[in-house]
């Protein structure tokens, strides 16, 4: 296998073509969001993490299979030392069109420019509240002002759009929707709300989800009227809307109330090299020994192909059959 020579795409038995790879670069985090992870965690040893060279090797193997979109995540990806070096290693790989990053923004003020200069172009910053006390309640840490500084640094560095992700939890998000939406409109950011999913450490119940349609009602009532965007992308998990007064866009990721599994195009690589074909997968394939011990690219490609081919129809959050994966979000890569 060489360069970006195209072979069969990564397709599963439901006809879904996979072009989107999420790579976790660390399981460590400098926040402890209650919906995501427990307070006390045993993190991976550094030697257990894939090296940047191993990550790039994997991307060179899957790019010819049709992976053209990458998102770096974690844990908190900015805790991984020298992340711009990884971006610079991935950007020139033939076939890779798009590299994004999801971050909590705490360390972004220092890193936004080097990341942009390395070739990163898309950035999502997670922020659930603009209230410092509530920030501490949700994240079990301080640092809201650093996140805001990170958002502003991302804008200055040239990222456009800068997207802000808030997890939507009943009892919390009702109070945050309007301030967050106004903040986003004021600063030219794209606000996105993600329905709270059963993938964190806390006990989850459907009643704890503050649903997308409730957020839309609130936005229309208290912010401005919205209409669906014209360039709606059916493969994107976000349902996108735009304010009719020109105030920008807002996205709803309705993973619980309107699952988008039927158009799923994603596969995930954990920080220690486990391949997962679904956020909620119960099985994973350990690729690190192969990447570390010089296995032939064809052997690794065949494992990836088999893993995708065997992908299930979709998560079963809304059924009694649902089984929560053993890993919480921070150890998968959100
Ligand atoms: N640390 C980075 C961050 O905060 O963006 C990247 C990793 S974090 C796990 C990625 C995203 O997953 C964040 O936007 C976070 O809010 C979201 N997330 C974590 N747990 C979630 C849950 N139970 N339901 C929905 N989204 C969740």
Do 140 and 39 contact (CB within 8 A), yes or no? yes
Full-model pTM: 0.96
> Which residue has a Cα nearest atom 12 of ligand 1?
334
> Which residue has a Cα nearest atom 10 of ligand 1?
334
CA 207 to centroid of ligand 1, rounded, Å: 19
Nearest atom (ligand 1) to Cα of 198? 23
* Of 128, 329, 330, best ligand 1 pocket probe by most atoms within 8 Å of the beta carbon: 329
Q: What is the pLDDT of residue 316?
A: 86
Q: What is the pLDDT of residue 60?
A: 98
Q: What is the pLDDT of residue 123?
A: 98
* Closest among 235, 259, 260, 265 to 12, alpha carbons compared: 265
Radius of gyration of the chain (CA): 19
Nearest atom (ligand 1) to Cα of 328? 20
Residues in the chain, pLDDT under 50: 1-3
Ligand 1 pocket, residues with Cβ under 6 angstroms: 29, 35-36, 73-74, 76, 102-104, 126, 165, 167, 194, 196-197, 199-200, 329-330, 334
Q: What is the pLDDT of residue 5?
A: 55
HSE (CB half, 13 Å, CA atoms) of 49? 21
Distance, in Å, from the CA atom of 166 to the CA atom of 13, rounded to the nearest integer, reads 33
Q: What is the pLDDT of residue 6?
A: 53
Distance, in Å, from the CA atom of 50 to the CA atom of 25, rounded to the nearest integer, reads 8
């Amino acid at each position: 296998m060489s360069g970006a020579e195209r072979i069969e795409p990564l397709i599963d038995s439901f006809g879904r073509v996979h072009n989107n790879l999420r790579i976790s670069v660390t399981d460590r985090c400098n926040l402890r969001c209650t919906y995501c992870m427990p307070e006390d965690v045993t993190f991976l040893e550094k030697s257990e993490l894939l090296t940047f060279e191993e990550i790039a090797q994997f991307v060179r193997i899957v790019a010819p299979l049709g992976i053209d979109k990458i998102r770096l995540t974690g844990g908190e990806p900015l805790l991984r030392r020298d992340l711009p070096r990884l971006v610079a290693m991935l950007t020139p790989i033939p076939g890779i069109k798009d590299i994004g990053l999801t971050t909590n923004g705490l360390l972004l003020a220092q890193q936004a420019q080097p990341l942009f200069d390395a070739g990163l172009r898309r950035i999502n910053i997670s922020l659930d509240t603009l209230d410092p006390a509530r920030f501490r309640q949700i994240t079990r840490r301080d640092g809201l002002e650093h996140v805001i500084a990170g958002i502003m640094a991302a804008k200055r560095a040239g990222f456009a759009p800068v997207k802000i992700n808030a997890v939507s939890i009943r009892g919390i998000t009702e109070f945050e929707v309007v301030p967050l939406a106004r903040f986003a409109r004021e600063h030219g950011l794209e606000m996105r709300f993600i329905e709270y999913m059963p993938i964190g450490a806390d006990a989850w119940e459907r009643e704890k989800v503050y649903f997308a349609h409730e957020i839309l009602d609130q936005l229309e009532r208290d912010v401005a009227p919205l209409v669906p965007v014209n360039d709606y992308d059916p493969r994107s998990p976000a349902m996108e809307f735009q304010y009719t007064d020109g105030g920008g866009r807002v996205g709803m990721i309705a993973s619980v109330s309107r699952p988008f599994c039927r158009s799923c195009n994603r596969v995930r690589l954990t920080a220690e090299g486990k391949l997962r074909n679904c956020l909620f997968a119960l099985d994973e394939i350990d690729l690190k020994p192969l990447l570390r011990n010089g296995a032939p690219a064809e052997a690794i490609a065949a494992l990836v192909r088999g893993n995708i081919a065997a992908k299930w129809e979709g998560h079963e959050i809304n059924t009694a059959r649902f089984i929560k994966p053993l890993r919480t979000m921070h150890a998968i890569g959100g």
